[in-house]
C-alpha cells in the first residue's frame, strides 16, 4: 500500500485521495489514510509517500516503440541541437562512412531543415562527395521523407525518367532527382532494399525503450509504427510477453494500406488479449506531413510563414475509394481504425468514411483520428457524435513548431491543435509522443499543451496562440483516462479506481500546483505496473 500522499485519481470526478491499497496486480482500495491503514497485516508492504503526488501510470497513445529502438541501435542521431547545419551533418555522416565496409548502408534519422542553419532540405549533392561507395539514407524527423545519395538512388532505380509514385513525391531540380523522397510509396523504392530487422533485434530494441518509458512514468503504449513485416514485430512482442519479459502494457496496432492487407492479418488482429498485450486495432495513412507540406488541405500551404507554396494543397497518399472500403471492412469486423489525418480536407474525408461505415453497421469501434492537427470547427460536433477519438501529440508544437508555423502561416497556426475546443465539446482526446518524431517523455507534451510555444521561435514564440491552451489538469487527463478510452482499455487502466490495474506514477512535484512552465522539468520518483515497482529514482 501507498500512504500519506496526494493521489490524483483522474476518475470521473477528478477526486483526490491520500492512499491506495493493492492486492496482486489490482487496486483494492482508494481513500483516506485511516481507511487504507486498517487493511494492512504483517505481510503488507507499506510505502510512505511523504506527501508526494501519485497519478495513474501515463499512457502514450501513439508511439513507434520498436522502430525507435531499432533506430537508436542502428541510426546516426541527426536531430537538433546535435546537428545544427548541413556541414555538421556531413561531418557526422563522413565519420560513419570512414568506418564502414564498402557497400554498407549508412543510416541516420532526425534532421529538420527548419532548424538547420541553411534552412533547406539536404540533397544528394551534399552527400555524394563524402559517400561515393555506400548508400546513405537519412530519414527526416517527420518520418515522412528521407534523403539519399546517388548510390541510394541507383539501388532504388530512380533516375531522370522516374515518375513519382501516386501519393508521394520524388523531388526534382533541373530535371535531376535531388535524392529527397517524400511519403511512403517513394521512400519504399529504396527502403524495400534495406536490411530487415530480426526478431531478436526487435526484442532488444523494445527492452531498451521500455526502461526509458518507465523512467518517465509511462505504463502503457500503443505501438503503431511497425514498418516492414508486421509478423516479425508481433513475434517479438509475443515472445517477450510469453516469457514475462514485457514490462509495459502494449496495444499492438497493425499497419494496413488496403483491404487485401487487412484480410491477410485479420486472424492475428483478432487474437485474444492478455494483461500486457492488446490487439484489435489497425493503422492507415490518409495524408502526409505538415512539415513537408504533403498533408491534404483545402487551401494552399504557406512557406516561410507569410509566403504561399505555389498552389500546393498536399494530397491523399491512398486511393480514396480503397480507403473507404478499408474503413468499412474494419468497422464491419469490429476493429478500430487509427487514421493518420493531418490536413483539414483529410480530416473531413476520414470523418465522412467513418460516418458511412457506422451508418451501415453501427459498431463501438471508437475509430481514431491520429494527429488531427487542423480540424475545422464545423466538424467537431460530428466527431463527438460518431464516437471518434483524437490521438494528438501536443509536443509537436514545441519540437516541430517552427516548421509547423512556417507552413501553416499566421491564421492556421492559431487554429492548429484546438485541444481546448475539442475537449470542451466532449471529444475524447488522448496524447502521445509519436516517438521518435519527438522525445518520448510525456512531461514535454503536458507542458506544450499548456504553453504552446515552438522551440526556436523563428516566427515568434506565440504563433499557436493561447486560446487553446489546456490546464495541467486537462493535460494530465489526455495522458490518463482519456488516453485509455482511445485504446478502448478504460475498464482496466487510466484512472486510480478499485478494480483497475495498479499502474501508478509517483512524481517529484505536484503538477497541479506548480507554474505551467515547470511541467517540462517534472521527474518521476517511482513507476509501478500491476503493483510491481519497475522503476525507482536514485533520489527516492
pLDDT digits (tens, 9 = 90+) for 441-476: 999 999 999 999 999 999 999 999 999 999 999 999
262 pLDDT higher than 90:
yes
Structural class in CATH, domain 60-64+198-503+510-519:
alpha beta
Query: How far is it, in rounded angstroms, from Cα 94 to Cα 127?
Result: 9
230 pLDDT higher than 90:
no
In the chain, domain spans: 2-57+504-509+520-536, 60-64+198-503+510-519, 80-140+145-182
227 pLDDT higher than 70:
no
401 pLDDT higher than 70:
yes
Query: What does the pLDDT average to over 398-411?
Result: 98
**Cell digits for 466?**
493561447
Structural class in CATH, domain 2-57+504-509+520-536:
mainly beta
What pLDDT score was predicted for residue 531? 97
CATH fold label, 80-140+145-182: Diaminopimelate Epimerase; Chain A, domain 1 (3.10.310)
3-state secondary structure 144-169: CEEEECHHHHHHHCCCCCCCCCCCCE
Q: What are phi and psi of 146, to 5 degrees?
A: -150, 165
164-183 tens-digit pLDDT: 999 999 999 999 999 999 99
More confident residue, 227 or 248: 248
Query: How far is it, in rounded angstroms, from Cα 142 to Cα 431?
Result: 17
Sign of CA dihedral 227, 231, 236, 237: positive
349-398 tens-digit pLDDT: 999 999 999 999 988 899 999 999 999 999 999 999 999 999 999 999 99
Cβ atoms 531, 24 nearer than 8 A: yes
308-362 tens-digit pLDDT: 999 999 999 999 999 999 999 999 999 999 999 999 999 999 999 999 999 999 8
Helix axes of 199-215 and 230-242: crossing angle, nearest 10 degrees: 60
Q: What is the side-by-side strand order in the sheet with 249-255?
A: 58-63, 218-223, 249-255, 277-285, 336-341, 368-371, 389-392, 429-431
* Reported pTM: 0.96
**Cell digits for 180?**
529527397
Cβ atoms 329, 363 nearer than 8 A: no
Amino acid at each position: 500500500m501507498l500512504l500519506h500522499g496526494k493521489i490524483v485519481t483522474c476518475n470521473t470526478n477528478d477526486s483526490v485521495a491520500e492512499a491506495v491499497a493493492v492486492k496482486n496486480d489490482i487496486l483494492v482500495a482508494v481513500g483516506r489514510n485511516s481507511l487504507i491503514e486498517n487493511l494492512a497485516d504483517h505481510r503488507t508492504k507499506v510505502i510512505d509517500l511523504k506527501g508526494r503526488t501519485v497519478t495513474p501510470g501515463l499512457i502514450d497513445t501513439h508511439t513507434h516503440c520498436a522502430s525507435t529502438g531499432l533506430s537508436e541501435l542502428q541510426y546516426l542521431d541527426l536531430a537538433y541541437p546535435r546537428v545544427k547545419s548541413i556541414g555538421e551533418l556531413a561531418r557526422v555522416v563522413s565519420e560513419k562512412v570512414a568506418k564502414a565496409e564498402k557497400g554498407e548502408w549508412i543510416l541516420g534519422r532526425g534532421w529538420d531543415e527548419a532548424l538547420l542553419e541553411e534552412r533547406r532540405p539536404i540533397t544528394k549533392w551534399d552527400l555524394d562527395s563524402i559517400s561515393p561507395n555506400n548508400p546513405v539514407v537519412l530519414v527526416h524527423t517527420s518520418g515522412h521523407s528521407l534523403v539519399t545519395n546517388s548510390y541510394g538512388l541507383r539501388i532504388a532505380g530512380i533516375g531522370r525518367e522516374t515518375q513519382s509514385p501516386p501519393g508521394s513525391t520524388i523531388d526534382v531540380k533541373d530535371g535531376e532527382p535531388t535524392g529527397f523522397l517524400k511519403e511512403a510509396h517513394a521512400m519504399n523504392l529504396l527502403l524495400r532494399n534495406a536490411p530487415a530487422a530480426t526478431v531478436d533485434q526487435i526484442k532488444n530494441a523494445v527492452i531498451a525503450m521500455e526502461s526509458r518509458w518507465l523512467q518517465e512514468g509511462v505504463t502503457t503504449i500503443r505501438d503503431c509504427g511497425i514498418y516492414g513485416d508486421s509478423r516479425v514485430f508481433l513475434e517479438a512482442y509475443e515472445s517477450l510477453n510469453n516469457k514475462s519479459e514485457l514490462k509495459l502494457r502494449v496495444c499492438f496496432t497493425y499497419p494496413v494500406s488496403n483491404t487485401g492487407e487487412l484480410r491477410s492479418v485479420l486472424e492475428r488482429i483478432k487474437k485474444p488479449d492478455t494483461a500486457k498485450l492488446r490487439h484489435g486495432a489497425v493503422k492507415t495513412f490518409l495524408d502526409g506531413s505538415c512539415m513537408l507540406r504533403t498533408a491534404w488541405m483545402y487551401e494552399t500551404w504557406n512557406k516561410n510563414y507569410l509566403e504561399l507554396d505555389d498552389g500546393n494543397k498536399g494530397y491523399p497518399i491512398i486511393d480514396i475509394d480503397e480507403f473507404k472500403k478499408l474503413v468499412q471492412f474494419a468497422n464491419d469486423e469490429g476493429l478500430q481504425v487509427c487514421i493518420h489525418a493531418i490536413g483539414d480536407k483529410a480530416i473531413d474525408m476520414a470523418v465522412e468514411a467513418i460516418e458511412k461505415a457506422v451508418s451501415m453497421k453501427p459498431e463501438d469501434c471508437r475509430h481514431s483520428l491520429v494527429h488531427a492537427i487542423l480540424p475545422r470547427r464545423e466538424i467537431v460536433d460530428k466527431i463527438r457524435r460518431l464516437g471518434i477519438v483524437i490521438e494528438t501529440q501536443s509536443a509537436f508544437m514545441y519540437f516541430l513548431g517552427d516548421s509547423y508555423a512556417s507552413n501553416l502561416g499566421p491564421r492556421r497556426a492559431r487554429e492548429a491543435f484546438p485541444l481546448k475546443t475539442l475537449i470542451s465539446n466532449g471529444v475524447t482526446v488522448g496524447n502521445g509522443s509519436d516517438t521518435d518524431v519527438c522525445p518520448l517523455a510525456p512531461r514535454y507534451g503536458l507542458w506544450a499543451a499548456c504553453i504552446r510555444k515552438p522551440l526556436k521561435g523563428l516566427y515568434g514564440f506565440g504563433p499557436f496562440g493561447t486560446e487553446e491552451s489546456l490546464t495541467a489538469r486537462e493535460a494530465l487527463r489526455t495522458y490518463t483516462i482519456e488516453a485509455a478510452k482511445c485504446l478502448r482499455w478504460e475498464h482496466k487502466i487510466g484512472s486510480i479506481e478499485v478494480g483497475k490495474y495498479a499502474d501508478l506514477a509517483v512524481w517529484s512535484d505536484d503538477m497541479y500546483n506548480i507554474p505551467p512552465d515547470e511541467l517540462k522539468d517534472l521527474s518521476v520518483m517511482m513507476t509501478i505496473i500491476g503493483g510491481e515497482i519497475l522503476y525507482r529514482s536514485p533520489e527516492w
